[in-house]
Chain A
Amino acid sequence: MTVQPVFTKSLQAMAPAEYRLHARSWLAANLPAHMRADSTDWRAPALEESVSWEARMYRAGLAGMTWPVEYGGHGLTLREHLIANKEIGAVMMPESAGSVGKELAGPIIMAVGTEDQKQAFLPRILTLEDMWCQGFSEPDAGSDLARLRTRAVPHDGGWRINGQKIWTSGASKADYCLLLTRTGTIEDRHKGMLMFAVPMSTPGIRVVPIKSIDGKVSFAEVFFDDVIVPDEARLGAPDEGWDAAIRVLSIERATNRMYRPWRFETELRALLRGLKSDPELAVLLDDGAVRDRIGQVLGQIDALKGFVEGSVEQLLDGAQIGARGSLSKLYWSECHQAFAGLALDLVGHVTPRSSGLAQRIRDHFTTAYLFARAETIYAGTTEVQLDIIAQRILKLPKDLQK
Chain B
Amino acid sequence: MSSDDHGLLPAELAEAARPAIAEARGKPARDAARILAEAGLTGVCAQEDDGGMALGLSFALAIAEEAGAGQLRFPLLDQILLAQAFAGQDIAGRIAAGEALGVIGWEGARDGLLRLSDDCDCDVVLVPTGQGADLIERAGLTATPTPLLDPDAPQIWLDVGAARKIGSLSGEQMADLRRAGEALYGGFVTGAAANALALSSDYLAARVQFGRPLSSKQAVRHHLARMKLLLEMSRAALARSLARDELGNPRDTRPAFLGAVGNAIWTLEKAIHLHGGMGFTWEVPLHYSLRDIRKIETAFGAGRLARQVAQDFIRAA
Contacts and interface: CB of A to CB of B under 8 A. Distances in A.
Interface in A248-307: 268-269, 272-273, 276, 285, 288, 290-296, 298-307
Interface string B291-314: 000000000000101111111011
B306 A295 contact: yes
B307 A396 contact: no
Contacts of A309: 236, 240
Given A299-B256, A387-B221, A397 B213 contact: yes
A78 interface: no
Nearest to B304: A288
Contacts of A389: 225, 228-229
Contacts of A302: 237, 240-241, 255-256, 259
B236 A306 contact: yes
B100 interface: no
B213 A400 contact: yes
B212 A400 contact: yes
Contact of B205 (A269, A305, A401): A401
A327 B258 contact: no
Contact of A398 (B216, B305, B311): B216
A299 B222 contact: no
**Per DSSP, are chain A's interface residues mostly helix, strand or loop, or mixed?**
helix
Contacts of B259: 296, 299-300, 302-303
B212 A399 contact: yes
A391 B216 CA distance: 10
Q: How large is the interface on A (under 10, 10 to 19, 20 to 34, 35 or more residues)?
A: 35 or more
Contact of A399 (B216, B224, B229, B258): B216
A331 B233 CA distance: 8
B314 A285 contact: yes
B317 A269 contact: yes
Contact of B213 (A17, A268, A300, A398): A398
Contacts of B240: 302, 305-306, 309-310
A246 to B, nearest CB: 19
B143 to A, nearest CB: 32
A387 B232 CA distance: 16
A383 interface: yes
Contacts of B204: 396
Given A298-B310, A307-B236, A387-B221, A327 B255 contact: no
Interface in A302-322: 302-307, 309-310
Residue among B225, B237, B238 having the largest count of chain A Cβ atoms under 10 Å: B225
A330 interface: yes
A298 B201 contact: no
B297 to A, nearest CB: 14
Contacts of A145: none
B10 interface: no
Nearest to A86: B246
B177 interface: no
Contacts of A396: 201, 204-205, 215-216, 221, 224
Interface string B192-231: 0000000001001100100011011010011011101100
A191 interface: no
A310 B239 contact: yes
Contact of B307 (A291, A390, A398): A291
A383 B239 CA distance: 28
A327 B317 contact: no
B289 interface: no
A44 interface: no
B197 to A, nearest CB: 8
Contact of B317 (A273, A310, A393): A273
B117 interface: no
Given A306-B237, A390-B225, A401-B213, 5 more contacts: A295-B305, A295-B308, A304-B233, A394-B228, A397-B213
10 nearest CB pairs, A to B: A299-B259, A306-B240, A306-B236, A295-B306, A390-B221, A389-B225, A294-B310, A303-B237, A291-B310, A272-B317
6 contacts: A294-B310, A309-B240, A310-B236, A331-B229, A389-B228, A400-B212
